[in-house]
Amino acid sequence: MPLNTPIRDWTGKRVWIIGASTGIGASLARVLLQAGSRLALSARRGELLQSMAAEFPAENVAVLPLDVTDGDALKSAWRTLRDRWGGCDLIVVMAGDYVPMSSFNLDQQAAEHLLRVKLHAPLQVLECVLPDLLAAGAGGLALVSSVAGYRGLPRSLVYGPGKAAVINLAESLYLEVRPRGLGVWLINPGFVATPLTAQNDFPMPCLITAEEAAREILRGFARGEFEIHFPKRFTRTLKLLRLLPYRLYFALVRRITQ
């Protein structure tokens, strides 16, 4: 039994991607538009969203620029969407930022910003959309986390805990709202070449393109998975590491990351 209702046909599906201006979100938006979905695109840089929207028929794309940390802007965008579409089949909370941070360069302001975007923003999205989705008994939410949330990693002092919290949030949400007819997906990418990872100064194992990531996400939806993780050759190894006792885990991660 799949954990979510498999989605194989995207024709006419109404999808809101928050964090659609670059990277994985932009690629996912393009793939879904090509598959016949109706898309609402959100991020702060409206000009990037507009230029993507211009590639597709106007009736299929709505551009709703916003800062995901702004609760009022989220509510207003959701009202616009409800009026225009009468509902929404899938909301993808993709927005994210990354600042490498370790115990030796902890920056409280940057930490608060990261957690606002990664953790508080998904909660604000939930508060905004859940009452309507629950009333309709249909639709769903996909929260984007990362394999960096599986266990503690060096130089991930704030990003990692934020992602771990989103994994936990998606699990809790699934348990609560799946029985009420909603879908909940957890998307855990490995390394994907995007503006976010361009700043990494270390070799990124099993790096894939944003287009490949978008196709992996669609495959996960088609299989009705709860956790959509990719690329499997990388994420399966990390899943094994997750099972190790601390003594072994710390020794291995130290060796790999030194």
Ligand X SMILES: NC(=O)c1ccc[n+]([C@@H]2O[C@H](COP(=O)([O-])OP(=O)(O)OC[C@H]3O[C@@H](n4cnc5c(N)ncnc54)[C@H](OP(=O)(O)O)[C@@H]3O)[C@@H](O)[C@H]2O)c1
| Positions marked catalytic | 159
- Least distance in Å: CB of 78 to ligand X? 14
- Least distance in Å: CB of 20 to ligand X? 6
d(Cα 216, Cα 185) in Å, to the nearest integer?
Answer: 13
Q: Tell me, residue by residue from 140 to 179, as one string, x for binding to ligand X by CB under 6 A and - for no binding.
A: ----x-x---------------------------------
- Least distance in Å: CB of 37 to ligand X? 18
Residue span binding ligand X (CB under 6 A) among the ranges 1-9, 64-72, 103-111, 234-242: 64-72
Residue span binding ligand X (CB under 6 A) among the ranges 6-14, 175-183, 189-197, 219-227: 189-197
- Least distance in Å: CB of 208 to ligand X? 9
- Segment 78-107, which members bind ligand X (CB under 6 A)? 94-98
Q: Which residues in this chain contact ligand X in the complex, by CB under 6 A?
A: 19-25, 43-45, 67-69, 94-98, 117, 144, 146, 189, 191-192, 194-197
